[in-house]
Amino acid sequence: MALAQLFNEGKYGLTVRSVNELIENLTSINWYSKAGEFSVDVEGKLAQFMSSLGVHDYEIKWISIEQVSETIKTLSFEGSALWEVLKELPGLWKKKIDSLENQRLLNEIVDRVPEAVFHSAYKQAFMTFKDENTVKFLVGHAMYISILACTAELAGDHQSLSYLIELLEEGHLPLGPNGNTIYLL
Q: Which residue, among 144, 172, 154, has the nearest Cα to 163 in the 3D structure?
A: 172
Q: Report yes or no: 109 and 151 within 8 Å, Cβ to Cβ.
A: yes
Instruction: Select from 67, 49, 12, 59 the least CA-distant residue to 168.
Output: 49
Distances (CA, A) of 134 to 67, 122, 128, 167, 179: 11, 11, 10, 19, 20
Q: What is the pLDDT of residue 2?
A: 45
Q: Report the alpha-carbon distance of residue 185 to residue 182 in Å, rounded.
A: 10
CB 75 within 8 A of CB 137: no
pLDDT tens readout for residues 141-150: 999 999 999 9
pLDDT tens for each residue of 55-69: 999 999 999 999 999
Rounded to two decimals, what is the model's pTM?
0.91
Q: Report which of residues 85 and 3 the model is more confident about.
A: 85
pLDDT digits (tens, 9 = 90+) for 89-137: 999 999 999 999 999 999 999 999 999 999 999 999 999 998 999 999 9
